[in-house]
Amino acid sequence: MSILSEVKAPTSTEQPPTHEEVIPLEPKKTFTSEEIQQLLPHRYPFLLVDKIIDYTPGKSAVGIKNVTINEPQFTGHFPGRPLMPGVLIVEAMAQVGGIVIRQLPDLNGGLFVFAGIDKVRFRRQVVPGDQLVMTVELLWIKQRRFSKMQARAEVDGQLAAEGELMFSLIN
């Protein structure tokens, strides 16, 4: 994603703008569900990010997952006591990381997949009705092919999960 520029429209008394008067636009900081689907290949029932509420190009993103009882995993995990599986929490964090990776310059095409998961810990149960707030920060990227991110998921300001996620680009 490139940073766009906006030119001020001259009023009737102003001269046309020169190149020094170009005002840069702020990079996009939020993404709707439709915009997320343009960036990620995931679809229902495996698209686990509803909205991006804060995005810093090349650095980090904060995403939201609204956990609802009508999601298919709650039929069997667990009847009478629905809990969001830890692997889906990790996947949701990874999808937020995918928003960061997919918009890095010179990384057009290909698909980033998990290459490793380290230091993942689950600190709180996530249940239907919770809103999972996931913050993912890019730690490094090597050879435009491998990357590592620090991820954390919170519910009501309480840490639910955290860990390091590694990705690899496949063609």
Fold of 27-170: Thiol Ester Dehydrase; Chain A (3.10.129)
Please report, for residues 67, 72, 86, 168, the alpha-carbon distance to residue 128 in angstroms, rounded to integers and kept in the order given: 5, 12, 14, 32
For residue 82, give the DSSP letter.
Answer: -
Helix (H, G, I), strand (E, B), or coil: what is residue 93?
Answer: helix
Phi/psi-derived region of residue 4, left when phi > 0, alpha when psi is between -120 and 50, beta in every other case: beta
> What digits encode the pLDDT tens for the residues 132-169?
999 999 999 998 889 999 999 999 999 999 999 999 99
- What length does the chain have? 171
Ordered by start, the domain boundaries in the chain are 27-170
Spot the catalytic one: 28, 51, 77, 145: 77
Is 72 within 8 Å of 85 (Cβ atoms)?
no
Annotated active-site residue 77? The verdict is yes
Q: pTM of the predicted model, to two decimals?
A: 0.84
List per-residue pLDDT tens for the chain, 171 residues long. 333 333 344 455 555 555 555 665 777 899 999 999 999 999 999 999 999 999 999 999 999 999 999 999 999 999 999 999 999 999 999 999 999 999 888 776 778 999 999 999 999 999 999 999 999 999 999 988 899 999 999 999 999 999 999 999 997
